[in-house]
């Protein structure tokens, strides 16, 4: 079945190039284009697309406002285009809060070249977004007790959470449920560009009772603190001298920067049975091999369930490998951390 796509952007050049790329892929076709958010809302109702690509800065009505209207009237998966700036990151995170599934950097030069890599990235993202489940962040989540059985985990000294598509909204849900007196340090590995992780750490810090920052090389790992792996780099930990973080340039052959596998492997080596790895929503299988190493070292692994994952890729790969100790609904992750981790 061919995916129907609505392209929304105030730039005629960008609309044409994106349309050409999409229509050249046999899996999808552009059924309409819009120049602003209000037009997008109208075309969403009349054309009934399967996916919408959305710019955020447009006349008449901006992309975020349009996403909110779309999610309240005829919800459809939305892929945002974003500028690679700090402000662009904040706006994109607002769009994800409003209900957008994922984002891509808006790069006019790359779109103009229309390279095979750009074509594949865009069309694969659209296909993945089409399979997603809408998961906007609730304003006031109502945590419920975790439904999985199990014993409390004693002696946990480090928690590493890995996620990708759907992760920003999922992590906000989790951290709203973790009490301010939670003392076990947490590392977050979220697939994001370098310009986004500072803004994301700031957002988590504002909604959480814990202290959240973008990790820097040499940071001491302290109780009650949360460290977001910087985009474009790799994060590793060292348990010696009380625990510290090391940030390194990434090998170009590694697909994910930051990589959940690398952070998990580091936790397995230095924290072993004192580590807990959590794999949330995301495309692909990053985290599976790292989860295996944590388990072999005596540590523990939790994964998000299929029903509440925006994209059930990363947690599925861990579950199918038999590596998960607990499969949790998203709303259960924070409460289970609060009740079970000591």
pLDDT mean over 280-284: 96
Given a contact cutoff of 8 angstroms between Cβ atoms, the answer to whether 147 and 174 are in contact is no
Q: What is the pLDDT of residue 195?
A: 87
The strands making up 28-34's β-sheet, listed across from edge to edge, are: 28-34, 3-8, 51-54, 78-82, 102-105
Q: In the predicted model, is pLDDT for residue 142 greater than 60?
A: no
Q: What is the pLDDT of residue 118?
A: 82
Q: What is the mean pLDDT of the chain?
A: 92
Q: What is the pTM of this model?
A: 0.90
Catalytic residue among 9, 50, 102, 191: 191
Catalytic status, residue 246: no
Given a contact cutoff of 8 angstroms between Cβ atoms, the answer to whether 264 and 299 are in contact is no
Given a contact cutoff of 8 angstroms between Cβ atoms, the answer to whether 159 and 185 are in contact is yes
Q: How confident is the model at residue 266 (pLDDT cuts 50, 70, 90)?
A: very high
Tens-place pLDDT, residues 90-132: 999 999 999 999 998 887 566 666 678 788 889 999 999 998 8
Q: What is the pLDDT of residue 146?
A: 41
Helices (H) and strands (E) in the chain, counts: 12, 14
Q: In the predicted model, is pLDDT for residue 136 greater than 80?
A: no
Q: How confident is the model at residue 138 (pLDDT cuts 50, 70, 90)?
A: very low
Q: How confident is the model at residue 134 (pLDDT cuts 50, 70, 90)?
A: low
Question: Among residues of the chain, what percentage have pLDDT more than 90?
Answer: 82
Q: Distance between alpha carbon 311 and the CA centroid of its chain, in Å? A: 10
Catalytic status, residue 164: yes
pLDDT mean over 281-296: 97
Determine the Cα–Cα distance for residues 235 and 264; give it in Å rounded to an integer: 10
Which position has the token pair 């209000």?
Answer: 38
Q: What is the pLDDT of residue 251?
A: 85
Tens-place pLDDT, residues 176-224: 999 999 999 999 999 999 989 999 999 999 999 999 999 999 999 999 9
Q: In the predicted model, is pLDDT for residue 7 greater than 70?
A: yes
Neighbour-count burial of 202, counting CB atoms closer than 10 A to its CB (0-12 exposed, 13-18 middle, 19+ buried)? middle
Which position has the token pair 């259960």?
Answer: 332
pLDDT mean over 332-340: 96
Sign of the Cα torsion 314, 320, 321, 322 reads positive
Catalytic residue among 286, 305, 332, 340: 286
Q: What is the pLDDT of residue 145?
A: 38
Q: What is the pLDDT of residue 143?
A: 40
Catalytic residue among 164, 259, 317, 331: 164
Q: In the predicted model, is pLDDT for residue 318 greater than 90?
A: yes
Which domains does the chain possess? 3-130 (3.40.50.2300), 158-340 (3.40.50.180)
Q: In the predicted model, is pLDDT for residue 34 greater than 90?
A: yes
> How many other CB atoms sit within 10 Å of the CB of residue 283?
21
Q: How confident is the model at residue 86 (pLDDT cuts 50, 70, 90)?
A: confident
Tens-place pLDDT, residues 36-81: 999 999 999 999 999 999 999 999 999 999 999 999 999 999 999 9
In degrees rounded to 5, what are phi and psi of residue 37?
-65, -40
Q: What is the pLDDT of residue 114?
A: 63
Catalytic status, residue 286: yes
């Amino acid at each position: 079945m061919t995916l129907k796509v609505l392209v929304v952007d105030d730039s005629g050049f960008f609309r044409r190039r994106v349309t050409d790329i999409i229509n050249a892929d046999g899996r999808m076709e552009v059924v309409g284009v819009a120049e602003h958010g209000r037009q997008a809302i109208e075309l969403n109702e009349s054309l009934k697309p399967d996916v919408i690509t959305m710019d955020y800065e447009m006349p008449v009505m901006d992309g975020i406002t349009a996403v909110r209207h779309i999610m309240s009237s005829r919800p459809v998966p939305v892929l945002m285009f974003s500028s690679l700036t700090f402000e662009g990151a904040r706006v994109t995170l607002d769009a994800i809060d409003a209900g957008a599934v994922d984002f891509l950097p808006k790069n006019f030069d790359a779109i103009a070249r229309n390279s095979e890599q750009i074509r594949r990235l865009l069309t694969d993202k659209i296909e993945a977004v089409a399979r997603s489940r809408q998961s906007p962040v609730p304003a006031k989540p109502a945590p419920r007790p975790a439904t999985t059985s199990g014993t409390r985990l004693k002696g946990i000294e480090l928690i590493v959470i890995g996620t990708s598509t759907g992760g920003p909204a999922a992590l906000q849900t989790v951290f709203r449920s973790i009490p301010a007196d939670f003392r076990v340090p947490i590392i977050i590995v979220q697939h994001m560009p370098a310009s986004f992780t500072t803004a994301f750490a700031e957002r988590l810090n504002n909604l959480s009772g814990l202290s959240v920052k973008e990790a820097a090389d040499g940071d001491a790992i302290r109780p009650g603190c949360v460290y977001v792996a910087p985009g474009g780099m790799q994060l590793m930990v060292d348990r010696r001298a009380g625990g510290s973080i090391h940030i390194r340039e990434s090998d170009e052959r590694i697909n994910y920067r930051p990589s959940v596998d690398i952070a998990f492997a580091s936790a397995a080596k230095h924290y072993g049975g004192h580590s807990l790895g959590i794999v949330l929503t995301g495309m692909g299988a990053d985290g599976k091999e790292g989860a295996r190493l944590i388990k072999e070292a005596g540590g523990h692994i939790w994964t998000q369930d299929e029903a509440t994952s925006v994209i059930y890729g990363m947690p599925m790969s861990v579950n199918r490998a038999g590596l998960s100790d607990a499969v949790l609904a998203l709303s259960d992750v924070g409460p289970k951390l609060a009740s079970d981790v000591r």
